[in-house]
């Protein structure tokens, strides 16, 4: 016994050291998270223009009022040739249009006349005629660079002024983007608002073109952030690195839009890290039906719970008959978002990237030692192994991990270590309760100490899971995980494997109870030979359906299962009361079930022990999994977990009181019936 005892002591002391290392890493992470409390409210400029145009309201007045309401910046899309045509700054004609017109009224302009006569005016080309010389001087160099490698010619006519010929159809020409509009930039700056640039990728992009337009962008005062427009990032697919280098060289940050599907965005963010700011937006389609308060809550929640620092605001669209009212409606909307941010402790200012953070190797190795120690403690519950073998495997695993996290695969092995913590500690927590099967003693439901003992067991198990969560969080703590560029892997495995391990532990202890010193195989065979009843099949069907829902509702891939209305209402209520809402499957299912599992074990009722233990394990799994959300501030995770424990304990106590009252009532009725039956028998005897 001395060997196993010494091994257990070693694992305990290793866990203590790992928890201290995790606390050290956690302090560094919390410091980084708390140092960045600036949130930037950015409004889509084009959408604001549409609202003001529909209402007949001056755009400059709207932007000044929006600034007073709390708006920080506006997002400007690149102007296109189509925009310039729409504003009357440029006229565009196809060569075919000019030739057809010449047939009706012969062209008298000498330059065009010569081009037509010499057959050098092509019907498939497009010809741009700027409104004046200043417009020509502005766009000519931009088009020469933007269309470098394609045919672009310039001509100078005394009558028509300088004009540009492009070997493109007019539809293609209208889509050519040529950087931000200086007039729009001045309009935003005059209102006291910052500018967020929205660059768009295009066919034929080259490193030289990227550098040219990024250089021009950097000359604009106050531009610090770029959010890409369209389906892919600038430079995709061949020049993503060059585009990232161009932004980095000018100190520009990349706005990574949450939930957006944009090709190349993750690779771009990794190249830009840590100069990355996470962005939350509500799509234009959603704005047609979303409620104001729901939208406000979404933005505030994004800042508070997911480290989002840029809120991309689209105004509510104008509705028929309410055009003027929508202006004030949107100003109130901006003010509500600003008020929600400041109430949550944020300041409204230009968003800043998070400081680069990555723990040193030594604390990470110590944390990994704690995860390995937990794994061997769990192994000891499932099967016996020689202490010397465990110590050898422990040492080998630790040295291997220490070497591997210095390679280019460091992130992968940290993710695997975190997955190990997510599997080991929930199973270990419930396993500590299941061990009581060996020492369970029957007790009366009226014995008040039973609930107290069960709660202590549940609390001990929960502490094990929380420690596992801290080890997991420490393993993954770094800027790339906080920005959600890297993330925890194996979510579904972490939700299923602990349940299987708990079932194996339960099976082992059931077999041990039946063996009573006899043959282990015979005891297992006795259990397997028991008949399967109808209620067994029904229970298995229900458990299978619940398991399917459980699996589908976990992980990074969501299968679209609807959230019940009562659950959604409860979530909203808890969020308003507690700010950081605890997880439903923890406080409503997992924690009460594990308390009852402990009670059944203490009373020797093993029929209910397994299903209750499995339900209770779900709560432990969820707690550890909560710590894997590295984009959520660590203090928010701790508070959410604590709230779940407190509410779960309260629900468990209420459920116990209801069950005890029911048991007392049914026992009283049974006693009454027995007494009545006994009295009747006595009368018949006397007769």
Whole-number pLDDT of residue 518: 46
Whether pLDDT at 442 is above 60: no
pLDDT digits (tens, 9 = 90+) for 604-634: 766 677 788 888 999 999 999 999 999 999 9
Burial 152-165 (b: 16+ CB within 10 A, else e): beeeeeeebebbbb
- What is the per-residue pLDDT for 557? 46
Quote the DSSP letter at residue 436. Answer: G
Q: Please tell me the predicted confidence (pLDDT) of residue 446.
A: 38
Burial class (CB in 10 A: 0-12, 13-18, 19+), 22: buried
pTM: 0.85
- pLDDT of residue 561 exceeding 70, the answer is no
Residue 43 has φ and ψ, to the nearest 5°, of -105, 140
Residue 606, class by beta-carbon neighbours within 10 Å (0-12 exposed, 13-18 middle, 19+ buried)? middle
Nearest to 652 by CA among 612, 613, 594, 565: 594
- Residue 437 is classified by DSSP as G
Instruction: Please check the confidence at residue 461 and state whether its pLDDT lies above 60.
Output: yes
Where residue 435 falls among pLDDT bands split at 50, 70, 90? Answer: confident
Distances 278 to 96, 117, 240, 354, 483 between C-alpha atoms, Å: 48, 58, 19, 10, 7
Per-residue confidence (pLDDT) for residue 23, from 0 to 100: 97
Tell me how far apart the alpha carbons of residues 398 and 416 are, in angstroms, rounded to a whole number.
13
Q: Determine contact, residues 492/554, Cβ cutoff 8 Å.
A: yes
Q: Is 557 helix (H, G, I), strand (E, B) or coil?
A: coil
pLDDT at 515: 53
Greater confidence (86 vs 575) lies with: 86
Residue with more model confidence, 507 or 176: 176
Whether the pLDDT of residue 457 is over 80: the answer is yes
3-state secondary structure of 214: helix
Tell me the mean pLDDT in the region 140-165. Answer: 92
Is 276 in contact with 256 (CB distance < 8 Å)?
yes
Q: What is the pLDDT of residue 22?
A: 97
Q: What is the mean pLDDT of residues 306-313?
A: 96
Express each pLDDT in 231-245 by its tens digit: 999 999 999 999 999
Write down all domains in the chain, each with its CATH number in brackets. Answer: 2-29+357-491+499-518+571-669 (no CATH), 38-78+179-348 (3.20.20), 82-174 (no CATH)
Mean pLDDT across the chain: 87
Question: Is 440's pLDDT higher than 60?
Answer: no
Phi, psi dihedral angles at 22 (to 5 degrees): -65, -40
How would residue 349 be classed by pLDDT, with cut points 50, 70 and 90?
very high
């Amino acid at each position: 016994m001395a060997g196993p005892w010494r091994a257990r002591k070693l694992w305990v002391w290793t866990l203590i050291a790992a928890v201290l290392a995790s606390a050290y890493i956690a302090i560094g992470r919390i410091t980084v998270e708390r140092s960045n409390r600036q949130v930037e409210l950015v409004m889509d400029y084009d959408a604001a223009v549409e609202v003001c145009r529909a209402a007949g309201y001056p755009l400059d007045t709207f932007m000044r009022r929006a600034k007073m309401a709390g708006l920080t910046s506006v997002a400007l899309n690149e102007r296109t040739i189509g925009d310039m045509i729409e504003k009357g700054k440029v006229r565009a004609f196809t060569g075919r249009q000019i030739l057809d017109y010449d047939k009706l009224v012969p062209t008298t302009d000498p330059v065009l006349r010569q081009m037509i006569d010499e057959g050098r005016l092509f019907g498939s080309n497009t010809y741009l005629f700027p409104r004046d010389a200043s417009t020509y001087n502005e766009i000519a160099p931009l088009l020469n660079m933007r269309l470098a490698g394609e045919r672009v010619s310039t001509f100078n006519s005394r009558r028509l002024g300088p004009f540009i010929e492009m070997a493109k159809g007019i539809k293609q020409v209208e889509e050519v983007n040529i950087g931000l509009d200086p007039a729009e930039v001045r309009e935003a700056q005059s209102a006291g608002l910052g500018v967020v640039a929205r660059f768009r990728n295009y066919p034929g992009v080259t490193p030289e073109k990227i550098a040219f337009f990024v250089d021009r962008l950097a000359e604009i005062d106050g531009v610090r952030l770029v959010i890409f427009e369209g389906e892919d990032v600038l430079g995709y697919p061949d020049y993503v690195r060059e585009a990232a280098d161009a932004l980095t060289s000018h100190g520009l940050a990349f706005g990574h839009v949450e939930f957006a599907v944009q090709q190349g965005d993750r690779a771009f963010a990794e190249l830009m890290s840590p100069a990355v700011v996470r962005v939350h937006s509500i799509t234009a389609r959603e704005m047609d039906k979303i409620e104001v308060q729901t939208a406000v809550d979404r933005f505030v929640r994004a800042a508070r719970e997911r480290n989002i620092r840029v809120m991309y605001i689209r105004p509510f669209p104008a509705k028929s008959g309410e055009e003027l009212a929508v202006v004030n409606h949107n100003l109130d909307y901006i003010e509500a978002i600003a008020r929600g941010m400041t109430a949550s402790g944020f300041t409204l200012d230009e968003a800043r990237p998070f400081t680069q953070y990555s723990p040193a190797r030594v604390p990470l190795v110590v944390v990994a030692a704690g995860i390995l120690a937990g794994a061997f403690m769990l192994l000891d519950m499932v099967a016996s192994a020689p202490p010397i073998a465990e110590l050898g495997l422990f040492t080998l695993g630790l040295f291997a991990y220490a070497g591997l996290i210095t390679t280019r695969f460091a992130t992968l092995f940290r993710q695997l270590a975190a997955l190990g913590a997510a599997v080991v500690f929930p199973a270990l927590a419930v396993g500590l309760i299941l061990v009581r099967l060996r020492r369970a003693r029957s007790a009366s439901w009226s014995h008040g100490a039973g609930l107290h003992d069960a709660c202590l067991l549940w609390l001990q198990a929960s502490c094990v899971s929380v420690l596992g969560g801290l080890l997991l969080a420490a393993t993954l703590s770094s800027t790339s995980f906080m920005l959600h560029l890297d993330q925890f892997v194996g979510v579904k495995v972490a939700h299923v494997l602990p349940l299987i391990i708990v079932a194996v532990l339960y099976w082992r202890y059931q077999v041990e109870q039946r063996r009573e010193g006899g043959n282990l195989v015979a005891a297992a065979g006795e259990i397997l030979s028991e008949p399967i009843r109808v209620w067994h099949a029904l229970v298995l069907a229900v458990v299978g359906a619940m398991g399917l829902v459980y699996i589908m509702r976990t992980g990074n891939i969501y299968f679209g299962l609807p959230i019940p209305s009562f659950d959604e209402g409860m979530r909203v209520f808890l969020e308003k009361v507690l700010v950081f809402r605890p997880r439903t499957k923890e406080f409503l299912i997992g924690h009460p079930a594990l308390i009852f599992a402990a009670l059944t074990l203490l009373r020797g009722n093993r029929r209910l022990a397994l299903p209750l233990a499995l339900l209770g394990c779900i709560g432990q799994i969820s707690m550890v999994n909560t710590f894997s959300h590295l984009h959520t501030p660590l203090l928010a995770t701790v508070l959410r977990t604590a709230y779940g424990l407190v509410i779960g304990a309260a629900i468990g106590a209420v459920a116990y009181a209801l069950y005890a009252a029911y048991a007392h009532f049914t026992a009283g009725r049974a006693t009454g019936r027995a007494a009545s039956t006994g009295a009747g028998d006595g009368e018949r005897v006397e007769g």
